[in-house]
Structure 1
Amino acid sequence: MISVIVPCYNQAQYLAECLQSILSQTYSDWECVVVNDGSPDHTPEVVNGFLKLDKRFKYIEIENGGVSHARNVGIKESKGKYILPLDADDKIGPKYLELGLRAFNKDNRLKVVYCEAHFFGTNNKLWSLPSFTFEELLKNNIIFCSGLFKKEDCVKVGGYDTNLSIGLEDWEFWINLLKDGGEVFRIPEVCFFYRIKELSRNSRISEDEFEEALKYISIKHSNMYVDYFGSFQSLLEKNRELTVENIRLKKINKLSLVSMLKKLKIYING
């Protein structure tokens, strides 16, 4: 029923913990497709141990083509009705697949099911996620990459966009998947654990690369952004109004500070 897709590039040191979290699921009707994205480390040795341990694990080796390509290859080779992408350095709680499938079975309008999340690694705390609305999704990526969705829906939108090779591919995927409607449900339980490292793919993205990715997403989904936020002229006007309001508030705060200092001076001087 569920195919977990694990792309891996230079993450062998974390991979066993990731795969063990899949093996520990309370729901048993799953397969895990590990896609070695041309990784030069000891990924094959790590995966081989799990292949011997459980036949539900599958392994594919490809030339390095980026995480979007690796996920697409894994999804194409998968047999499950539902897909869960999982990066090789992250892990899931034991009930994630069970609770995710339960949600889909309760509501056939659902397109995406995800959960509460927790950071671990160099930072350990609850991940405070805003409530989902599609408008908010257009502004920020408010769903982490490891959400459950139907394979048929993924195929309809063409999978992950391989043009976004440096990042933001999961954000664009959610926009693409949900732009024509569909419900989203967040499981009220922590079932996803996102590893924080000193060096990660996201931390290596330069400001220019990030801006180029944003431009690409904006152009690709320009009709959607115009529908929700208006023309560039209306955005400029809103920005001007916000600037004027900020200036007004700064003046008020400055006057308040001056008034407070005067009162403090009078108090100190008796």
Structure 2
Amino acid sequence: MVKVSVIVPCYNHAQFLDEALQSVLEQNYTHWECIIVNDGSLDHTEQVANVWLEKDTRFKYVHQDNKGLANARNVGISRAQGEFILPLDADDKISKDYVALALEAFRKNDSLKVVYCKAEKFGAETGLWELKPFTLFNLSQENIIFCTALYRKKDWEAIGGYDENMRYGCEDWEFWIALLKQGGNVKQLEHVGFYYRTQQNSMLNNMSNAHYKYSLDYLSIKHADFFVEQQGSFFELRAKIEQVKKKELNKLKSEKYIIDVFCKRFLGFTLFGLYKVND
């Protein structure tokens, strides 16, 4: 029976931590451990975690100075004993059968590197979280896999874990690119197994333009090979942009011609009619 390590970094989310850990406790698949990483929280995260340590010995706890999400995940995974890893942010939740269904998918197809599921939003925004289907091209456009997906610890080790240079966000996107750009299949379960809490003051919403630019620039340099393979070189991109601009310009010219004809024939006729009536 394979072991799954659920990694829960927590930074000032003590008020949500109980819900996240309760969703882990309720898993149908029971051979798991859950490592809570307190990333220098200033709230009562430690007190909440201690309650869970007493409740079930499968819960474990690590405290460190604040070093960011990528580092907190890496610290938790480095201590994990499971063959499979499932990151779970402290303000999110998983369904009781998510782990079991994901492991079943891995058992049926050993070429899989990542298994994730359908997702639903709750909190400030509700409803299904619509994401593009997985292809490497779609992944080169934007992040299309949320962090709470199962993968093997050995694959995390092979790419050096989460890149801690991604300190302002987008660390999940970088991780999936690093993990998948050299191959490996991905499966999305036809099951809502992940619940994503939406907040007005989320890390992503608070990312400044400068930090977002830094993250994208870093991604572009580190994984230039991936982006060129999926989207073409900057020469090809420039040519595509010029083609689009030319097409749009021709379209505008064509639309202007139609409008001119319309104005001359229809409006001219109408005005002529008005003059006749007035006469």
TM-score range, shorter chain: over 0.9
For these two proteins, the number of residue pairs brought into alignment is 270
Matched ranges for 1:29-178 at <5 A: 29-178=31-180
Give the structure 2 partner of residue 212 of structure 1: 214
2: CA distance, partners of 1:36 / 1:96: 24
Deviations 1:84-120 (A, max 9, x none): 0111111111111000100011100000000000111
- Where structure 1 has 5 or more consecutive residues not aligned to the other structure, the ranges are none
1:4: Cα distance to partner?
0.4
2: CA distance, partners of 1:254 / 1:75: 61
2: CA distance, partners of 1:63 / 1:162: 15
Deviations 1:7-43 (A, max 9, x none): 0001111111111111111111111000000001000
1:212: Cα distance to partner?
1.3
1:266: Cα distance to partner?
7.9
Letter in 2 for 1:90: D
2: CA distance, partners of 1:260 / 1:145: 54
Q: TM-score, normalised by structure 1?
A: 0.94
Deviations 1:122-165 (A, max 9, x none): 11110111111111111110101111100000000000000000
Aligned-pair identity (%): 46
1:258: Cα distance to partner?
7.1
The 1:220–1:20 alpha-carbon spacing in structure 2 relative to 1, beyond 3 Å, is same
1:250: Cα distance to partner?
4.0
From 198, 209, 218, the equivalent of 1:196 is: 198
The 1:116–1:38 alpha-carbon spacing in structure 2 relative to 1, beyond 3 Å, is same
User: Would you say the 8 A contact 2:140–2:231 is kept in 1?
Assistant: no
1: CA distance, partners of 2:217 / 2:25: 40
Q: Please say which of residues 34-43 and 131-140 is displaced more in the overlay.
A: 131-140
1: CA distance, partners of 2:262 / 2:55: 70
1: CA distance, partners of 2:247 / 2:258: 16
Give the structure 2 partner of residue 245 of structure 1: 247
RMSD: 2.1
- Where structure 2 has 5 or more consecutive residues not aligned to the other structure, the ranges are 275-279
2: CA distance, partners of 1:30 / 1:186: 21
Give the structure 1 partner of residue 277 of structure 2: none
The 1:266–1:172 alpha-carbon spacing in structure 2 relative to 1, beyond 3 Å, is farther
1:265: Cα distance to partner?
10
The 1:14–1:259 alpha-carbon spacing in structure 2 relative to 1, beyond 3 Å, is farther
User: Would you say the 8 A contact 2:136–2:230 is kept in 1?
Assistant: no
1:227: Cα distance to partner?
2.1
2: CA distance, partners of 1:247 / 1:167: 38
Give the structure 2 partner of residue 187 of structure 1: 189
The 1:256–1:71 alpha-carbon spacing in structure 2 relative to 1, beyond 3 Å, is farther
The 1:58–1:227 alpha-carbon spacing in structure 2 relative to 1, beyond 3 Å, is same
2: CA distance, partners of 1:110 / 1:263: 63
1:248: Cα distance to partner?
3.1
Give the structure 2 partner of residue 16 of structure 1: 18
